[in-house]
Structure 1
Amino acid sequence: MSRLRRRSLPYHDDISTYIGWLGNASSICILDSGKPQSERGRYSIISAEPERVITLKPSSYGTFEESLLAAERDIALAMGRLESDDSLPFCGGAIGYLSYDYGEAIHLGRPPSSPLPLARVGVFGWAIVVDHHTVQTHLVLQPDCSSHIAHRMFAGLFDDSAPLAPFHLKGDFSSQLGPEQYRAAFAKVQSYIQAGDCYQINLARDFQASYSGSPLSAYLRLRSVAAAPFSAYWDFGPAQLLSFSPERLLSIDSERRLQTQPIKGTAPRHTDPKADQDAAQALKQSAKNRAENIMIVDLLRNDLGRSCTPGSVYTEKLLELQSFRTVHHLVSTVNGQMREDVGPIRALFNCFPGGSITGAPKRRAMEIIAELEPARRSLYCGSVFYISAGGTVDSSITIRSFVCQDGTIRGWAGGGIVADSNVDEELREIDEKIGALLSRLRDAE
C-alpha cells in the first residue's frame, strides 16, 4: 500500500499563484506547460527544497563512462526509497539539467566554460502537480519528505510571499556574434558544407546585458509572450535558468517506450489571420526547412537506436506543423522501445546533446560550432529533465533560454544552416525566435 500523502488544491490555470506560496524556499524548480498562454502541454510541476543534490563532475570520477555509472548509481540510490503513483506524471523524484558544455566535454573533450556543474540533479520529495486537462491540482508528499514549505501547504497554510524585486536591465543587449561576425561565420559554415565536412550546422548568437532585480520576476514577465509546453525555471543558487522551450528531447513512458520530437523549420506568427495562415503554409512547403528536418530525423533515429531494441525505431510523424505564441514550427516524432539493459539516464546521454541544435554529423557539427561561436552555450541547448519515482521521464532541449548569473542575463538563439540557406533569412529567423523576448525584458515594470 502506497504511503504517499496527497491533498487536492484549488486549480489555477496560471501557476503564478502556486509560485507565490513558495516564499523564500531554496532551489525553486518549475516545469511549466505555459498555460494559459500556451495551447500545448498538459501538466505543470512545481517543487523546491530537494532532499539531495547530485552534481556530475567527470573529473571527480575519472573517465566519462565512470562518471555516468556513478551518476546512475547515485540517482538510483537516492530514489530507491521513493513511492510511486501511476496516476501522476511526477510524485517526487529527480529533476536535473545537462548543460551543452557537458555534451562538449563528452564528445570533444572541451573544458567547461563556467563554475556551474556540467550537470545537476535534485531529488525532490514532494511536488505540486497541475493537470490542465482535468482542471485539477494535487499536492503530493513522499513519506520521508523533509521540506518545510511542503508540510506547511499540506497543513493548509498558504502564505503569500513578499513581492519579487522588479527586474530591470541596466543597459541594452549586446552580442559577441554581431550581424557582421555572424555573416563571416555563416560563410565559413557554407565552405565546410561545400567541402563535405557536414550537411547542416546549427549556428547560434548570444545576447547579454547587466540586470538588477529578481530573475523569477523576469521569468514571469516573459511567460506572457513566450509560453511553451517545455518551459522551466530553476533557481540553483549561484545561477537561475529561464527556459521557454517548445522542444522535447526524450520521453520514456511506463512501458519503456522512447520518444523524441525534433524541431526544424520556423516561421513567424502574424496577428492577421490570413497572413498567419499563409506563413504556416509557406513553412510546410519550404524545401529548405523540410530538408533540414529530415536530416535531423535521420540523425535522431540513429541516436535512439543506441538505446532501443533492433528494428523498433520508427518515425510516427514527419514534418507536422505546430503553432506556438510567436512562431510556427515543423516538428517530427520518432519512437522506439528501450532495451532492458538500458536505464533512463543512459538513454538521455545516448541522445545528448539533441541533434536539432548541433547539426549533422553530430560530432563534426559540434567541432565547427566550437570554432565559430565566440560565446559558450552553457545551459543553452542542454536539457532539463525529470525522472519520476515510477520511472517515467520527460525532458526538453533548452532553446529560447536565458541564464542569470553574477548580475548578467545571457540568452541565445540560432538556426540550422544548410547548403541553400540565405544569410539574411537566417538572421531574420534568429530575431523571430528571440526578438520578442528581448523586447519584453526591456519593458519597465
Structure 2
Amino acid sequence: MKSLQIVSLPYSLNTPAAFQAIADLPAPVWLDSGRPVAPGGRYDIISADPINTLELTADSPAPFESIDDLWCELSQVDRDAQLPFCGGVMGYAGYELGMAGNFLPADVRPTPLPAGFFGLYTWALIVDHQLQATHLVFHPASTPVQVADLIARFTAVRWQTAPRGARFRLLKPFAHEMSQGDYEQRVERVLDYIKAGDIYQANFTQRFAASYEGDLFQAYLALRSTVAGPYSAFMGIPNGGHVLSLSPERFISADGSHVQTQPIKGTAPRVDDAAEDRQVAAALQRSEKDRAENLMIVDLLRNDLGKCCQRGSVRVPNLFELASFANVHHLVSTVTGELPEECGFAELLQACFPGGSITGTPKRRAMEIIREQELSPRGLYCGSIGYLSSCGRADSNIAIRTFSADGEQLTCAAGGGIVADSNPAAEYRECLSKVGLLLSTLENFHQNPTQHTG
C-alpha cells in the first residue's frame, strides 16, 4: 500500500477558523466534535473538494451499494492508530433511503435536499482533542497542487483569532407543521395501534420551517455555541444546499471488524437550578417508562446488528447511561458486535437503516405508521451523517437536532418515542423541549440580524 502524507499543525479549539480556510472550495464538510461545548467527542474532521460525488434519490436502486462503490474508487491505506479518516467517503443518507431495505415502497415526496449526498475526499484536517494534536492528512490520490494549496491555507490560519463574521437573518419565526391539538390527536392514533398489538413503540415527529438569508455558517456557529453535540456536522452541497446538525447521538461506528451503536431513548428537560436539575436527571434514570422505551430499541438494534455480525458477538456493555446536554438529559445505551470479513460497513448500514431509535419496533410496521401519521417526508432528519475511511474506520450519527437548508428555507424537526403509557400532552411538551432551544437560538436572528464573532 502507498503511504499517507501527514503534516503537523498547531493544536487549537478554533476549528471554525480552520473550516473557514476551505469553505470556498466545493462541497466543504466539517464533522464536528462539538468541543469545547459538548462532552464526549474526540475528533474534528474537515475536508472539501471531493474527486467524485454521489447524489441519491428516494427511489435510487441499492443506495448503500452505491456508497460502497464510491468508497472503493479510492485505494485502501494502512491504518494509523490515531487517525480516524485517511481519505474516503463523507456525506449523508436521508431517512427515505431506508424504505427498500425494510420492504416498503419508495417515498418520493419532495424534500429540501437530495435523499442522499456523498463525496469522495482525498484529504482531511484531523483535530484530536484527546491527544491535543492536529494533522493535515493526504491520501496518495491527492495531487501535488492540492497538497501545496491546502498546506498554504492552513498554515495561514490565525488560530487565536475569532472566525470571520458575516450577516445572517431569519426572515420570519419558525412555523409549526401541526397545532398542539393535531399533534396530540395523531399520538392518540399511534397509541391505538399499540393497544391493537400492531407495534410496541413508534417515533412520531413534526417539522418546523422558516425562510432566511445570508451566511448559514454564522447560524451554525450560534447553534453550536449553545446546543453542540458530539456528532455534529456542517456541510455544503451543490446547488446551494446546506446541512447543520447538532446531533448528540451516534448511529454506527466501526474500527475494522468491531462495530458499535449507541441509541438514545429517554429524555428530560434541563432546569436552571442545579439541585433540581440533578433530581430531574435521577428521576429519568429511575423512570420505568423511559427505561422500557430504551430497552425496546436496544433489542431492535441487537437484532439489526445480528443481521450482519458474527453469531454470538452482539453484546450490550452499557445500558441506560445518563448523558446531559445544554437543553436535555438523555438515557444512552451501547450495543457492540463483530463483523465477518465478507460484510462491509455499507452493508451493515443498509441492514440497520434507518436507526431503531427514530423508527420504533417492530421497525417495518412502525415505519408504515410513521408514513401514515406524519404530514411530510423526513428527508435528512432521522437519516445519518458520517464517513467511511479508506483505512477501515467509519462513524455516523443519527441526524436529529438537524437543519436542512435549500437556499431559501431552513427546516428542522423533533418528536419522541410513543409507548403504551405515553401521554399525548406530555409527548407534545417533550417534542418542544427537544427543539425549543434550537429554534429560539435562530429566532434571535429574526429579532436582531447580526454577525457572529465566535
Contact 1:51 1:145 in 2 (8 A): no
Match of 1:204 in 2: 205
Match of 1:72 in 2: 68
Q: Cα offset for 1:81?
A: 5.6
What SS does the aligned partner of 1:266 have? strand
Length-normalised TM-score, structure 2? 0.92
Match of 2:83 in 1: 88
Q: Cα offset for 1:385?
A: 1.7
> Residue 312 and residue 205 in structure 1: after superposition, are their counterparts in 2 closer, same or farther (change >3 A)?
same
Match of 2:156 in 1: 158
Q: Cα offset for 1:216?
A: 1.4
In 2, Cα distance between equivalents of 1:147 and 1:198: 56
Match of 2:41 in 1: 41
> Residue 340 and residue 147 in structure 1: after superposition, are their counterparts in 2 closer, same or farther (change >3 A)?
same
Residues 1:53 and 2:45 are matched in the alignment: no
In 1, Cα distance between equivalents of 2:155 and 2:300: 50
What SS does the aligned partner of 1:54 have? strand
Q: Cα offset for 1:120?
A: 2.2
Deviates further, 196-205 or 20-29: 20-29
What SS does the aligned partner of 1:79 have? coil
114, 131, 143: which one aligns with 1:117: 114
> Residue 71 and residue 13 in structure 1: after superposition, are their counterparts in 2 closer, same or farther (change >3 A)?
closer
What SS does the aligned partner of 2:296 have? helix
Match of 2:229 in 1: 228
Tell me which amino acid in the other structure corresponds to 1:53.
T
Q: What is the percentage of aligned positions where both structures have the same residue? A: 44
In 2, Cα distance between equivalents of 1:144 and 1:313: 36
Deviations, residues 378-425 of structure 1 (Å, cap 9, x unaligned): 000000121112111111100010000140000101100111111221
Contact 2:87 2:390 in 1 (8 A): yes
Q: Cα offset for 1:162?
A: 9.6
Contact 2:29 2:236 in 1 (8 A): yes
In 1, Cα distance between equivalents of 2:219 and 2:143: 29
Deviations, residues 85-114 of structure 1 (Å, cap 9, x unaligned): 333111211112111011135432123333
In 1, Cα distance between equivalents of 2:143 and 2:193: 54
Residues 1:97 and 2:92 are matched in the alignment: yes
Q: Cα offset for 1:308?
A: 0.6
Match of 1:266 in 2: 267
What SS does the aligned partner of 2:238 have? coil
What SS does the aligned partner of 1:320 have? strand
Match of 1:245 in 2: 247
Deviations, residues 154-198 of structure 1 (Å, cap 9, x unaligned): 146526899454221111111222211101101111111111111
Contact 1:23 1:159 in 2 (8 A): no
Match of 2:173 in 1: 172
Match of 1:351 in 2: 352
In 2, Cα distance between equivalents of 1:442 and 1:313: 44
In 1, Cα distance between equivalents of 2:385 and 2:94: 9
> Residue 73 and residue 27 in structure 1: after superposition, are their counterparts in 2 closer, same or farther (change >3 A)?
closer
Match of 2:132 in 1: 135
Higher RCO (C-alpha 8 Å, min separation 6):
2
Match of 1:326 in 2: 327
Contact 1:99 1:379 in 2 (8 A): yes
Deviates further, 166-175 or 395-404: 166-175
In 2, Cα distance between equivalents of 1:58 and 1:168: 31
In 2, Cα distance between equivalents of 1:149 and 1:170: 39
Contact 1:83 1:142 in 2 (8 A): no
In 2, Cα distance between equivalents of 1:342 and 1:378: 27
Contact 1:252 1:259 in 2 (8 A): yes
Tell me which amino acid in the other structure corresponds to 2:260.
Q
Contact 1:252 1:258 in 2 (8 A): yes
> Residue 147 and residue 50 in structure 1: after superposition, are their counterparts in 2 closer, same or farther (change >3 A)?
farther
Contact 1:51 1:146 in 2 (8 A): no
Tell me which amino acid in the other structure corresponds to 1:96.
G
Q: Cα offset for 1:135?
A: 1.2
Contact 1:401 1:412 in 2 (8 A): yes
Q: Cα offset for 1:235?
A: 0.6
In 1, Cα distance between equivalents of 2:199 and 2:149: 55
What SS does the aligned partner of 1:225 have? helix
Match of 1:289 in 2: 290
What SS does the aligned partner of 1:130 have? strand
What SS does the aligned partner of 2:364 have? helix
Q: Cα offset for 1:57?
A: 4.7
Could you tell me which runs of 5 or more consecutive residues in structure 2 were left unpaired when the two chains were aligned. none
Q: Cα offset for 1:215?
A: 1.5
Residues 1:276 and 2:273 are matched in the alignment: no
Provide the aligned length of Structure 1 versus Structure 2: 439
Structural RMSD (CA): 2.1
Tell me which amino acid in the other structure corresponds to 2:139.
Q
In 1, Cα distance between equivalents of 2:187 and 2:147: 50
Match of 2:339 in 1: 338
Contact 1:49 1:147 in 2 (8 A): no
What SS does the aligned partner of 2:310 have? coil
Tell me which amino acid in the other structure corresponds to 1:92.
G
Contact 1:105 1:112 in 2 (8 A): no
Deviations, residues 280-327 of structure 1 (Å, cap 9, x unaligned): 001001111011000001100000000111111111111111112221
Q: Cα offset for 1:137?
A: 0.8
Contact 2:31 2:44 in 1 (8 A): yes
In 2, Cα distance between equivalents of 1:159 and 1:381: 35
Match of 1:402 in 2: 403
Tell me which amino acid in the other structure corresponds to 2:150.
M
Tell me which amino acid in the other structure corresponds to 2:250.
R
Deviates further, 87-96 or 414-423: 87-96
Tell me which amino acid in the other structure corresponds to 1:28.
P
Could you tell me which runs of 5 or more consecutive residues in structure 1 were left unpaired when the two chains were aligned. none
Tell me which amino acid in the other structure corresponds to 2:245.
S
